[in-house]
Structure 1
Amino acid sequence: MLLAQVLARVVSEGRLTIIDEAGRSHHIKGAKAGPAVTIRVHDWWTGIRLALRPRLALGEAYMDGRLTVEQGDLYDLLDLLGRNMAAVDSTALMRWSYALQRWLRVLEHYNPVGKAQKNVAHHYDLKGELYDFFLDRDRQYSCAYFRTGNEPLETAQADKKAHIAAKLMLRPGQKVLDIGSGWGGMGLYLARAFDVDVTGVTLSREQHGVSSRRAADEGVADKVRFKLLDYREEPGRYDRIVSVGMFEHVGSAHYLEYFTKVKELLADDGVMLLHSIGRMEPPGGTNTWLRKYIFPGGYTPALSEVLAAIEKAGLWVTDIEVLRLHYAETLRLWRERFLANREQIKQLAGYDDRFCRMWEFYLAGCEVAFRYMNQMVFQIQIARRQDAVPLTRDYMAAEERLKNVAGSMAAE
């Protein structure tokens, strides 16, 4: 079996058994201990595709039920592959694939105004009930912040908001722009806790409707408003700008455009906090399956290409923090909640088995990518002037303590 021959050359950790379409078992044992997994490949063509186009074919085969896991579960399989990914990536086929993606990435990540909205709708305009089954109560759909690694999801997401707010140095009455405002949680938190005026912009009709209703229901619509608008079309100037989990959808072809617009929107003494998924290696491409089924137009940037665009726009980078395993832990909790509520998702949200397998693969695959591969999260503090923030980082801890207290009081 071609797939077994390919994997036998790269699996050095763990044990994998492949049962082919004829019922034959192919055993692969790495030199180091690791997960023990058995999979069944139900037809010969799936085996060929898995050997030749693994990044696309694996997710498709699992979604369609043409690959099933008979010992362990999907996460165990992806965990085993993740532990051996360095060897997989070093094969000639994968090197060629990555090189091709680097050449094509500008075309793949071209997101003009109209196309950007279609890409966002593909993922974020799904039924809202789906997200209620695995996110926290505030629907924070981005990396949480774990002080110890043992916090429950609700605490870690609240700490994430406080951590970001500390870097914004908010003062009552300031005007804040939230680029990619999601379901409104960040904007509502900032307005409640720090008496600031917030404008959020999103391209998701579903998120816009939910966030606007939340502002009205909480009686803060005079201080927090949400627009169904591309950030490139937003007028005015703001004392603070925050963007959490949106930059991944900008596309590398638009980075200079993005930061040029940020400079236009930011007051002379203003501060921005950008929170985004990134990669710890040179620029590359987006996983083929993830781009096709989950985030069309999405791309996780290297710091080198983000910083180059910031420099060209004439902005100051005043602080950078890299969060490494925080998103792995966030995704673990999301995945566990999703699986625990799988039947309810099918019954109440109306999604079928194939959809649930697709989302299980998405959550488990991303967790493995953050745990073993090249994915991380960065927070970049940006300003127009070098004196917009204090000389040292000491203020952040003090601000964060205050914001944790303020957030708790606002939630009561």
Structure 2
Amino acid sequence: MRHSLGIKDTVKKNSMLIVLLATMLLFQVLISSSGRGSLFAPSNISNLISQNSYVVILASGMLLCILTGGNIDLSVGSVVALVGALAGTLVVNLHWNIYVSIIICLLTGLAIGAWQGFWIAYVRIPPFITTLAGMLLWRGVALLILNGLTISPFPAEYTKYFNSFLPNTEDAATVLSVTVIVGVVICLIYGFWALFDRYTKKKKGYTTEPLAVTLAKVILLSVAVLVIFFLLGRHKGVPVVLILLAVIVLGYSYFTSRTVPGRHLYAMGGNEKAAKLSGVDTNRVLFFAYANMGFLSAVAALVGVARFNSAAPTAGTNYEMDAIGSCFIGGASAYGGTGTIGGAIIGAIFMGVLNNGMSILGIDANWQKAVKGIVVLAAVVFDVLSKKRVKSS
């Protein structure tokens, strides 16, 4: 048995991360040469996080749906609009308690996900049809709630939970020092975890990367984290929404990779009949994936209305495409059973950099959509061809 991955395998495993870094450098060169500023400007890094927070949240849930067998949820954008409309009605129009309103919105998203999950998992209506119906249904309900109007502004007591920065001080030196210290702590924790995880896997006889590769990855990612936190410190500090994103990403990464229910998602996507014969309740797994997607759509809605400071009828338009595209670009298989939360997040960041970079360069919005479509198609084509190559060999 091999106990170490070769350099070629390691590069292949991290190919999307390499592409992301190359894309960021390309945009930096193009933006700098055109005199339009810098992709790595402190304010732009903060904007990248806030602008693409919804993509990260939705991609984390969409991956679970895709893992079950290449299934997708087309209704997430409409659910975002509906929950946002509900939040605007409760918080702005009716002046309800903010915490009660947030809980009601989250439960509404969960109920919508459970409703769609029931038809998909237990009645076995195809996910594409069920969520397509949901896309029309929930958008219609959102329009009825809003009556075609936009609700704004949201009170500061609500938006501070998603739009503020830490530490909450005007002293630039304190903001920079605290933010950098947080970055250093994150790097130390990550470095310890990476080395401990490698040691544990090697002790159990699992395939691992060469130590030099692990150390190189830790150093490079630590440098990237320190640079990002330094830039955030030069702006306003750590965005509160970044903490929420970290909790979601870490939580779902642990769930999918280290828990039995998480592994059931992969088993079902690999071969549903075999998983069922092995004792996996595939109906419950499918139901959970879509109920969870509804819940995360509600979270994305709460973040979205805080960022835009309004609940609009057009909110959430094409959000499902960004989430699906992020998963496929990040390495999720169109057939299910393959993909990671980390890969989906890299895909989400890639989509965000693509949008932000092209916007700074002044590229027409229609061309931006065309480029994103080509990128998503290329990712799926690469996956399909890779599968055929493996089968033929």
Higher relative contact order (CA 8 A, sep 6+): 2
Normalised to the residue count of structure 1, the TM-score between the two structures is 0.25
Higher strand share: 1
Normalised to the residue count of structure 2, the TM-score between the two structures is 0.26
Higher helix share: 2
